[in-house]
Amino acid sequence: MPFHHCHRDPLPQPGLTPERLQAQRQLCAACAVCCVFMAGEVVGGYLAHSLAIMTDAAHLLADVGSMMASLFSLWLSTRPATRTMTFGWHRSETLGALASVVSLWMVTGILLMAFVLHQAGPSHSHGSRGAEYAPLEEGPEEPLPLGNTSVRAAFVHVLGDLLQSLGVLAASILIYFKPQYKAADPISTFLFSICALGSTAPTLRDVLRVLMEGTPRNVGFEPVRDTLLSVPGVRATHELHLWSLTLTYHVASAHLAIDSAADPEAVLAEATSRLHSRFGFSSSTLQVEQYQPEMAQCLRCREPPQA
């Protein structure tokens, strides 16, 4: 009988994967573009004595900080597993995405507070304020790989800033031609801030799903269960758990109850192979045990209810 081993994949190579290397290059390019625009805004705001442009430069600084956090999370995710961090540091990518989303919410919250204060306080204007803005964060036109959570969060952050800048630009054009519509500036900021918050919903949903150890997206509980039951010799399965460390690193564990005549090593190898080939699980931990009739009445062996 051939020897079966539990590791179906080759040993991961140290360092960043090709996908993450590409993400790193694109984030570095985006940081460079933001820094150039930020320097230009600081100089231009100082020469024009424009607090609005200086404020937008500070906003760009927050964007650079968010991207640097994403780069740090990419580097941290390559650290090997230890006896303390037995799964490695893969979830640093997810935490970086959460930090980026939270920073966007904070910036948007500041803009919404400014809208409230503007509506409550006396009118104050420095001429055509909105004309001093421009959509500065259109940056790199090459799309970011959205499979990486932290990169996608950084992309959504910049996209939200772009929406807000476009709103300010549209308001500035309106105010330039129709000075009596000065309220368009805070109103556009409010509306586009709401759009920016809505754009974070898919990323936030995926981040929470990973952190709460939910079933990986596009992987169903029933198909995985049926695949394990289709392995020759498997009579029943229980304690089936499916979760993710990142959006692309899926993990599974289960107990397989087999016939007394089945070969445990062959069942383990076949089940592991099917989980990897059909669902892309990066790690599978399967416990093989003899089937007992009382398992059918065991409360702990029952499947979890539908969500």
283 found inside a domain: yes
Helices (H), the chain: 18-48, 51-76, 92-120, 149-177, 184-199, 201-211, 221-229, 264-279
- The number of distinct structural domains making up the chain is 2
* Same domain, yes or no: 237 and 111: no
Of 282, 154, 293, residue with least CA distance to 235? 293
For range 12-25, the mean pLDDT: 71
Of 191, 212, 233, which one is at a domain's C-terminal end?
212
For range 261-280, the mean pLDDT: 93
Question: Contact 157/104 with Cβ under 8 angstroms?
Answer: yes
- State the virtual CA torsion across 217, 222, 228, 230 in degrees, nearest 10: -130
127 found inside a domain: no
Per-residue pLDDT tens digits for 120-175: 544 444 433 333 333 333 333 333 344 566 667 777 767 766 766 676 677 777 77
* Same domain, yes or no: 278 and 188: no
Question: Measuring CA to CA, how many Å separate 194 from each of 94, 165, 179, 200, 206?
Answer: 24, 13, 25, 10, 20
* Tokens linked to 92: 């640093």
Give residue 128's pLDDT.
38
* Same domain, yes or no: 69 and 177: yes
Cα 280–Cα 283–Cα 286 angle in degrees, nearest 5: 110
Question: Contact 249/284 with Cβ under 8 angstroms?
Answer: no
* Same domain, yes or no: 47 and 92: yes
Q: Which range of residues forms the domain containing residue 63?
A: 18-118+150-212
Against a cut of 0.85, is the pTM above it? no
* Same domain, yes or no: 52 and 91: yes
Count other Cβ atoms within 10 Å, centred on residue 263.
Answer: 16
Q: For residue 156, give the CATH number of its domain.
A: 1.20.1510
Q: Is 240 helix (H, G, I), strand (E, B) or coil?
A: strand
Question: Contact 26/139 with Cβ under 8 angstroms?
Answer: no
Give residue 136's pLDDT.
31
134 found inside a domain: no
- Looking only at the bridges linking them, the beta strands covering 250-258 and 234-244 are antiparallel
Question: Contact 295/301 with Cβ under 8 angstroms?
Answer: yes
Of 193, 194, 195, 173, residue with least CA distance to 184? 173
Give residue 194's pLDDT.
76
68 found inside a domain: yes
Question: Contact 199/159 with Cβ under 8 angstroms?
Answer: yes
* Same domain, yes or no: 286 and 179: no
Per-residue pLDDT tens digits for 219-255: 999 999 999 999 999 999 999 999 998 888 899 999 9
Of 159, 182, 212, which one is at a domain's C-terminal end?
212
* Same domain, yes or no: 100 and 181: yes
Q: Is 302 helix (H, G, I), strand (E, B) or coil?
A: coil
226 found inside a domain: yes
42-46, 139-143, 200-204, 269-273: which has the highest mean pLDDT? 269-273
* Same domain, yes or no: 175 and 292: no
Handedness of CA 255, 260, 264, 267 (dihedral sign): negative
Distance CA 231, CA 220 (A): 18
Distance CA 1, CA 8 (A): 18
Question: Measuring CA to CA, how many Å separate 209 from each of 55, 98, 148, 190?
Answer: 35, 12, 15, 29
12 found inside a domain: no
Question: Measuring CA to CA, how many Å separate 150 from each of 23, 69, 120, 204, 290?
Answer: 9, 9, 38, 11, 43
* Same domain, yes or no: 23 and 79: yes
* Same domain, yes or no: 202 and 267: no
* Same domain, yes or no: 234 and 99: no
* Same domain, yes or no: 243 and 114: no
